[in-house]
Amino acid sequence: MMDVETFRQEARSWLDANMARRDPLDDRLNRTIEEWTPEYLAEQRVLQKRLHEGGYAGISWPEKYGGRGLTAAHDQAFVEEAREFAMPDFGVAGGTTHMVCMPTILQHASEDFLFRHVPKVLDGEELICQFFSEPEAGSDLAGVRTRAERDGDRWILNGGKIWSSGAYYSQYGMCLARTNWDVPKHRGLTWFLVPVDAPGVTIQRIHQINGNSEFCQEFFDDVVLTDDDVIGEVDHGWRVTQTMLVYERGGGRPTVLKPTSDSKLPADMVDLIRRVDRTDDPVARQLVARAAITDFAQACLGARIATKFKQGALDAALAGYVKLAHGIYDPIRGRIGMEIGGAASLTWADDDPDGVSPSIGYLNGRILSIAGGTNEMQRNAIGERVLGLPREPSFDTNKPFAEVVRNARNWSGQVG
């Protein structure tokens, strides 16, 4: 196998010869795409195909499906080299496809399934969003109620999903459904790959508090699926879910650490304190420093956890520290932006993108406290799996799920 440094050199030359450099202005203004148009997606598919043909798509994925068959270290090296170049940008659906769904699918799906889907993913023709959470089940992922019922050699899917980022521009959703209601909740689950354009699938955009509509809600009315769409084994979907959760928490994801620089103050905070003319205000300076410190502390934490994984730490719950740190400090950072700016953070001119920025940071500040595993779920995992604290009683793990749903609203607090 090619060693990492040789691969890095090869990647560097190829990128130089084949890809355009990023526009630094885009980074500075934090420009993000808000609407994924077919035209923009077509442009990205061209870039993705070029990457695939060059041998830089699916670097750590098996060769037989079109990947390069190398290691996570090679992945990491490529991410570092590609930093200055304009890479295919599929947004959040790109993230769910490459960082969560495909790594999980590669570990659990049949060969036939992989031959059908992996090459198309590598070419950018298939994006896979997450059909995980439901209006009735978020933290309690094993408590999903979307049902898949056997009908001859078909499966009929009914129910709904929510918080699926980028579903409106994806081709598939990786869907967790209940296939057995008479066993405890963890034992009756199955994963399906659902085509978003299948008859019976309705996708609605969710209007978010920050004004965007990146998240979607889906409704399934008698959607027909086959055994070819099953990922892993029927009723044994929880095993697949546990793999998926590790990836969702960032386990195995290549990280690009912020390079050390002379200025450690975050650009957005410095801009803000200058804009409101509070650079001499000790109170405002303390707030800027607090934001700088927790930003840097989180970067150091990421490096520390990555080192632990590299050294062979086995429990993915360690990645929960990084997530929990975001979930605790992002809301605080959002508040700092409001506090420094005062009136200038609370109100702004219609056409001022910098003016609206602190309030967007504030409204979005709690996303990571809730999405991808709430602070409370991270605390449970850290407490039990890292600190070894005893589990709390569970009142639903051993009962048939149909019974759990029936009794949930009669909770009296007295058990046994």
Least Å distance, CB 281 to other proteins, is 11
Catalytic site includes residue 248? yes
Which lies closer to other proteins via its Cβ, residue 260 or residue 410?
Answer: 260
Distance CA 276, CA 344 (A): 7
Which residue lies nearer to other proteins by CB, 20 or 387? Answer: 387
Q: Smallest gap, in angstroms, from Cβ of residue 333 to other proteins?
A: 14
Minimum distance of other proteins from residue 245's CB (angstroms) = 17
CB distance 308 to 300 below 8 Å: no
Residue with tokens 């200038």: 344
Contact (Cβ atoms closer than 8 angstroms) between residue 164 and residue 216: yes
To the nearest whole angstrom, how small is the minimum distance from the Cβ of residue 380 to other proteins? 7
Residues that bind other proteins (CB under 8 A): 260-265, 270, 273, 279, 282, 285-286, 288-290, 292-294, 296-298, 300-301, 303-305, 307-308, 311, 321, 324-325, 328, 376, 378-380, 382-384, 386-393
Place of tokens 């090459």: 119
CA distances from 142 to 188, 236, 277 (A): 9, 12, 51
State which residue, 37 or 398, has the beta carbon closest to other proteins: 398
Catalytic residue among 80, 136, 248, 384: 248
Contact partners, residue 38, CB within 8 Å, separation at least 6: none
Q: Which residues contact 84 (CB under 8 A, 6 or more apart)?
A: 21, 22
Choose between 89 and 384: whose C-beta lies nearer to other proteins: 384
d(CA 159, CA 370): 23
Residue whose token pair is 């579903």 = 167
Q: How far is CA 28 from the centre of its chain?
A: 23
User: Helix 4-18 to helix 72-81 angle, to the nearest 10 degrees?
Assistant: 40
CB nearer other proteins, residue 215 or residue 321 = 321
Exposure pattern of 78-97 as b/e (b: 16+ CB <10 Å)?
bbbbbeeeebbebbbbbbbb
CB of 272 to other proteins, least distance (A): 12
Which active-site residues does the annotation give? Answer: 248
